[in-house]
Amino acid sequence: MSKPTPLSGFPEWLPAQRMIEQNVVERIRATFELYGYAPLETRAVEPLDQLLRKGETSKEVYVLRRLQEDPGARTDDSLGLHFDLTVPFARFVLENSGKLQFPFRRYQIQKVWRGERPQEGRYREFLQADIDVVDRDNLPFHYDTEMPLVIGDAFASLPIPKATILVNNRKVCEGFYRGLGLEDPDQVLRTVDKLDKIGPEKVAALLVETAGATDAQAAACLKLAAISTGDASFVDQVRALGVTNDLLDEGLEELVRVVDAGTEYAPGLIRAELKIARGLDYYTGTVYETQLQGYERFGSICSGGRYENLATSGNERFPGVGISIGVSRMLGLLFGHNALTISRSVPTGVVVALPAEELRPACDRIAQALRRRGISTEVAPAAAKFGKQIRFAERRGIPFVWFPGADGEPDTIKDIRSGDQVEADAATWAPPAEDLIPVVSKA
């Protein structure tokens, strides 16, 4: 077999990186459960008509078909891999509404697929960690204020740079645009959402070209998008622009509640950023994006928002609010800058030295005794000089080597970092707590 060519956009972490990922996911999961979110996993595929009914996603969806599919077969029920976890969740709620207790709080940590152009921190297959709350008919607004607090706690549990959650409210934007006299606020939102990619001059030109804005209206939209505050002072800045609208008032009131809750809970966690729009069409109110300190140029690593009409069927409506951590996106950026490290590249904490091959059964019994007590252990791969077996452990960052006693002598264990060697019994010995499992930390 010739050497394979890597596929871009489909990350495959090395074992040490994979252990970091698992550690990060476990901490995120634990935080979600502390807030009472229940686990859920939905299927990887959805009908294409469901995937394409909300937002400009048609270019991102991977279609699923059999290799030997009959060319004449019906395709109206074609399937695609899901591009996020919110659309499948909405479908799940509709299918299972009679079995769920509302408000329903769930988390999902799953792979998703998008046909994007791969680049640093952006992949075509990646892991997301989502939380959402949905209710029947009406969802109380206090869940919008809770979302960033959960994420703030999740990020605080991780050895990553400081995170700032940027918040806005689409009602602020839409109300402002309508107050200006612009008749297609959705197009304005989509255009303003490109600010970081193409800059204000090109956004202004696009607003004139695609949204029917005058130069003055485009300038006003850019002034609104430039407002950024760490407290509720954004309200006065919006008012100073001289635009009035009832929806704008409603959005400002809601945004103040989110910012005030975040400021009280964790000062510096939340920032009102009025250029945030989010590209998916199903968001209707609060929207969130998250940046890591030092990595702002790479954009958001955690996003979401409020949606009123994503989960609807006939007269039934299940409004919700959710937020998603791009786990692969975040880790890809941090791995690329060598910002994370792990204390060893394998789970093993102890290597049992093998004096001779015929003693392997006795060494296996020692390893089993340690494993039964939750200590990750392996027996040396071959009977070699002890120096070579110690180097085997050193290369993998394994801290301890166990030496079986000979001729009635007690077993000993050596901390190969310090050189300390003491007598030990496999039925009672335990490593220090910090050596029991690999430790993830900032590099």
pLDDT tens readout for residues 410-442: 999 999 999 999 999 999 999 999 999 999 999
The domain 350-442: what is its CATH number?
3.40.50.800
Task: For the beta carbon of residue 5, count every other beta carbon within 10 angstroms.
Answer: 6
pLDDT given at position 189: 87
| Residue 85 marked in a binding site | yes
**288 marked among binding-site residues:** no
Structure tokens belonging to residue 409? 């002598």
Torsion, CA 191, CA 196, CA 200, CA 202, rounded to 10: -60
Closest residue by Cα to residue 143 from 272, 228, 254, 271: 254
Burial 414-431 (b: 16+ CB within 10 A, else e): bebeeeeeeebebeebeb
**Tokens 């609060």, residue?**
286
Q: Give the pLDDT score at 57.
A: 59
Q: Which residues contact 354 (CB under 8 A, 6 or more apart)?
A: 360, 363, 379, 380, 382, 383, 384, 389
Q: What is the pLDDT of residue 151?
A: 97
Q: 165 or 87: which carries more pLDDT confidence? A: 165
Give me the chain's average pLDDT, please. 93
In 3-state terms, what secondary structure has residue 399? coil
* Cβ neighbours of residue 353 closer than 8 Å, sequence gap 6 or more: 363, 380, 386, 389, 390, 401, 402, 403, 404
186 is in an annotated binding site: no
E-assigned strand segments in 3-47: 38-39, 45-47
State phi, psi for 167 to the nearest 5 degrees.
-125, 150
- Tell whether residue 123 is among the known ligand binding residues: no
For the segment 298-322, the average pLDDT, to the nearest whole number, is: 91
Is 35 marked within a binding site?
Answer: no
Q: Mind listing the pLDDT tens digit for each residue in 125-136? A: 999 999 999 999
From the list 236, 250, 258, the residue with the least C-alpha distance to 168 is 258
- pLDDT for 251 beyond 90: yes
| pLDDT-derived band at 280, boundaries 50, 70, 90 | low
Buried b (16+ CB within 10 A) or exposed e, 132-168: bbbbbeebeeebbbbbbbbbbbbbeebbbbebbbbbb
User: Do the annotations mark residue 207 as ligand-binding?
Assistant: no
> What is the pTM assigned to this prediction?
0.91
DSSP secondary structure, 214-226, as one string: -HHHHHHHHHHHT
* Predicted local confidence at residue 2, as pLDDT: 72
Alpha-carbon distance of 436 to 348, in angstroms, equals: 9
Domain ranges of the chain: 15-341, 350-442
Convert the pLDDT of each residue in 53-99 to its tens digit.
Answer: 655 556 788 988 887 777 666 555 689 999 999 989 999 999 999 99
Encode pLDDT of 330-340 as tens digits: 999 999 999 99
What is the model's pLDDT at position 190? 87
Q: Are 311 and 134 in contact (CB under 8 A)?
A: yes
Mean pLDDT to the nearest integer, 105-115: 96
Percent of the chain with pLDDT strictly greater than 70 = 96
CA–CA separation, 170 and 280 (whole Å): 12
Interaxial angle between packed helices 170-180 and 215-225, expressed in degrees from 0 to 180 and rounded to the nearest 10? 160
In this prediction, residue 3 carries a pLDDT of 79
CATH topology of domain 15-341: BirA Bifunctional Protein; domain 2 (3.30.930)
CB contact set of 298 (below 8 Å; sequence gap of 6+): 120, 121, 333
Rg (C-alpha) for the chain, rounded Å, is: 27
pLDDT tens per residue, range 381-408: 999 999 999 999 999 999 999 999 988 8
239 assigned binding-site residue: no
Common-topology check for domains 15-341 and 350-442: no
Peptide bond into 103 cis (omega under 30): yes
**With the CA atoms of 312, 317, 323 and 324 taken in that order, what torsion angle do they form, in degrees rounded to the nearest 10?**
-30
281 assigned to a ligand binding site: no
Long-range contacts of 12-15 (CB under 8 A, 24+ apart): 13/331, 13/335, 15/345, 15/346
Band of pLDDT at residue 109, cut at 50, 70 and 90: very high
Residues in the chain: 443
Q: Is 178 labelled as part of a ligand binding site?
A: no
Q: Which of 282-286, 309-313, 403-407 has the least mean pLDDT? A: 309-313
The DSSP call for residue 348 is -
